[in-house]
Amino acid sequence: MDRRQALKLFAGLALCPLCGGRGLASEGHWSYDGATGPEKWGDLDATDAPCSAGGQQSPIDITGTIIARQPTLKIEWSKQPNTVINNGHTIQLEVPNGDTLRMGNRTYTLKQFHFHHPSEHLVEGKRFAMEAHFVHAATDGLAVVAVLMVPGRQNAAFKKIVSTMPMEEGPAVPADPAIHSTRLLPARREYFHYEGSLTTPPCSETVDWIVLAHPIEVDEDDIARFAKLYPMNARPVQQRDRRFILSSGPH
């Protein structure tokens, strides 16, 4: 991706459905099943061609990982989300500028986070109940922190989200100020790292994926509440295509 494309990506991020609004989205309608489902995404619009022709598509099954020295994740989130939207594909919360992710000498700005049911990534063939994606942008690409979610103890932040999320597709509304992004992170930060794509059209292959190795627990009833809105909004697992998946250490 050249600099011009990168700047266009960053400028459009606030407008793409699952990466920030509609600026990077396919012009055609897409869904998770039927005639506009994942198998057809690459044919819906010329810009969506990577969905079927790309060589580094996401999500994948995290398996055959290589333990390698990886930079410590420096997650510096302090701002509460300011809006929440039901965009017809997921529940998404927008975050004001200021929160960052640092990996080595690279810094990304947190833009938004959203949810998939069930999980999009698998780990050693195992699928999880849900997955949260924290989408960060820099001038030359994206970094997405993926948090796997399993039934268990109540998570106050997720409970507040499902208790206040819009039940129908529509414009963004103010988010509850009690929602804190950091409370959706596990205590341990070991992670898997690979190069991939957006998991929705246009499936651009511009994403550094950081899949946290340890899931968080959320109340099973809260998972069920989300599932009433989105019974299935996860893209099928894609081919690995000789990519390396790096692990930050034993888990």
Surface-to-core class of residue 57, CB atoms within 10 Å of its CB (0-12 exposed, 13-18 middle, 19+ buried): buried
Indicate the domain borders of the chain.
3-247
What sign for the dihedral angle of Cα 241, 135, 211, 84? negative
* Residue 122's pLDDT band (cuts 50, 70, 90): very high
Closest CA to 197 of 248, 233, 230, 237: 237
pLDDT for 65-84, tens place per residue?
999 999 999 999 999 999 99
pLDDT for 201-246, tens place per residue?
999 999 999 999 999 999 999 999 999 999 999 999 999 989 999 9
Residue 149: per-residue pLDDT: 99
Determine what percent of the chain is predicted with pLDDT higher than 70. 88
Residue 1: per-residue pLDDT: 38
Closest CA to 114 of 153, 139, 138, 88: 88
From 89, 114, 117, 136, active-site residue = 89
Residue 140: per-residue pLDDT: 87
Residue 250, pLDDT > 80, answer no
Mean pLDDT calculated for residue range 87-102: 97
Domain 3-247: which CATH class?
Answer: alpha beta
For 167: left if phi > 0, alpha if psi spans -120 to 50, otherwise beta; the answer is: alpha
Residue 21: per-residue pLDDT: 40
Amino acid occupying residue 39: E
Active site residue 114: no
* Residue 251's pLDDT band (cuts 50, 70, 90): low
Distance between start and end Cα atoms, the chain? 33
Whether this model's pTM surpasses 0.75: yes
